[in-house]
Amino acid sequence: MKLSTSSSTWSAPRTESAAKKPAKFSFPKFSKKIAFKRQDIERMLIAGAAVLVLVLAAIGAPAVLPSNDHAVDNNDILPDVSAGAIVSGPSQKTTVYYSDAEGFLVPVQRDVSQTIGIAKATLNLMISSDENDLQAARLGLMTVIPDGTTYDLDIANGRARIDLSKNVLSLNDPAKESLMVSAIVQALTQFDSVQTVDFLIGGQKRASLTNGTDISEAMSGGLINLESVAPTMSVADAQLVKLYFPSENGRVLVPVTRAVWGRADINTAVFELIKGPKEDTSLHAALPSDTGLIDVQVIGGTATINFTDEFASLLTASDGGEQARRALTLTCLQFPGVNKVEILVNGKAFTPAVLEKPTYINTLSQAAVQFMDVIEID
């Protein structure tokens, strides 16, 4: 059974095709991951260069080419993105939406040049291009709007009307269509001036896209990566909480909307976070699975979460448990009146004891720096 929502609320359906058909590309699967450290790659490149020099020396001097006829301009060289794209001059922050290979939408904070057209600048970063694809790939993600897409965007009275070029009709997968539409809606509704989004294609109103994605009515953001609802759960019983789990490669946190029994309160959300992601996904558990929840109290805007001793094992993670603390904090701070999170382990303060709300779920520059030394090939 699928959870039904009002026609004005958009959520990308989690389909089998989304799980099996990557939205953009995927790497061949091998039985093991090969991890190269940056210094190892440098050694291999140096060795290769040495061999090349010996070969050229044996062949002799190359023919002389006309000077500068094929010179490479510095502006044509792809930038070093080890710390994210560099924006010169005044900048502002925005959230763009990418996809992972399994079909989850992932919000990432990016810096853009200061502009009055922040909504357009945001969408421009989500269109497939050499540079945009490279930036997304640094996080193991993919852009969601087809290469060459153009659009007109008008925003008035809380409603955004986006007119996409007809090339979006060539998408050959319903999962790709759904991700594109959902990503655009989520990206635009992050701004206070936009509550709903209307779609046109080539200047014309359509009921659906080529593969059946409904665009007949105005859509609102909010629900993201909605999990399927158990057959035993009726729509009337469905309550929703948002949870945050590390992606397959651990570089980013993925927000997931889960339907739960009973009240959708902070106690339930923390309990569901401990349960972890669904088994049919590649997401990782945010907290140790054997952790017990002793108590949750909210007093004066601070949520105090008391765990059993097993919680402390997250300190052995490669990042010292930083992603786990961020996931817990974001999960708790979705509830009105909660401004801070205090962690206890068997009643004793856990370091750091008080966690403030992160400004953004994922930050491109932070993730790029944290994972810059290892390149993984599946």
Q: What is the pLDDT of residue 36?
A: 44
Nearest Cα neighbor of 96 from 79, 80, 112, 78 is 112
Structure tokens given for 100: 């992972």
| Gyration radius (Cα) of the chain, Å | 23
Decide if 378 contacts 27 (C-beta within 8 A).
yes
**Facing residues of 151 across strands?**
164
- φ and ψ at 178, to 5 degrees? -60, -45
Structure tokens given for 359: 């400004």
pLDDT, tens digit, 9 for 90 and up, residues 256-292: 999 988 889 999 999 999 999 998 899 999 999 899 9
- φ and ψ at 26, to 5 degrees? -145, 155
Give how far Cα 103 sits from Cα of 23, 106, 183, 284, Å.
Answer: 6, 9, 11, 15
Structure tokens given for 228: 């399927």
> What is the distance in angstroms between the CA of the first residue and the CA of the last residue of the chain?
34
Name the strand (E) or helix (H) holding 51.
helix 38-59
Roughly what angle, to the nearest 10 degrees, separates helices 322-332 and 266-275?
150
Structure tokens given for 71: 């010179």
Q: What is the pLDDT of residue 48?
A: 52
Q: Give me the residue label for tokens 């490149």.
A: 45
Q: What is the pLDDT of residue 237?
A: 66
Q: What is the pLDDT of residue 56?
A: 43
Give the integer Cα–Cα distance in Å for 226 and 281: 13
Give the integer Cα–Cα distance in Å for 57 and 103: 51
Q: What is the pLDDT of residue 370?
A: 52
Give the integer Cα–Cα distance in Å for 370 and 253: 14
Q: Return the DSSP state at 123.
A: H
pLDDT by position in tens, the chain (length 378)? 444 333 344 444 444 444 444 333 333 333 334 444 444 444 554 455 444 444 444 444 433 333 333 232 333 223 333 334 555 567 889 999 999 999 999 999 998 888 889 999 999 999 999 999 999 998 899 999 999 999 999 999 999 999 999 999 999 999 999 999 999 999 999 999 999 999 999 999 999 999 999 999 999 987 899 988 777 666 556 789 999 999 988 889 999 999 988 889 999 999 999 999 998 899 999 999 899 999 999 999 999 999 999 999 988 888 888 889 999 999 999 999 999 999 999 999 987 655 666 666 888 766 655 544 434 434
Q: Could you write out the DSSP letters of every residue in 304-322?
A: EEEE-GGGGGGGGSTTTTH
Decide if 339 contacts 302 (C-beta within 8 A).
yes
Specify the length of the chain in residues.
Answer: 378
Average pLDDT, the chain: 78
Sign of the alpha-carbon dihedral angle for 77, 82, 85, 87? negative
Residue 262: CB atoms within 10 Å: 9
Cis amide linkage into residue 352, ω under 30° from 0: yes
Q: What is the pLDDT of residue 228?
A: 80
- φ and ψ at 149, to 5 degrees? -70, 135
Nearest Cα neighbor of 362 from 271, 289, 254, 280 is 254
Give the integer Cα–Cα distance in Å for 261 and 254: 22
By three-state DSSP, how is residue 124 classified? Answer: helix
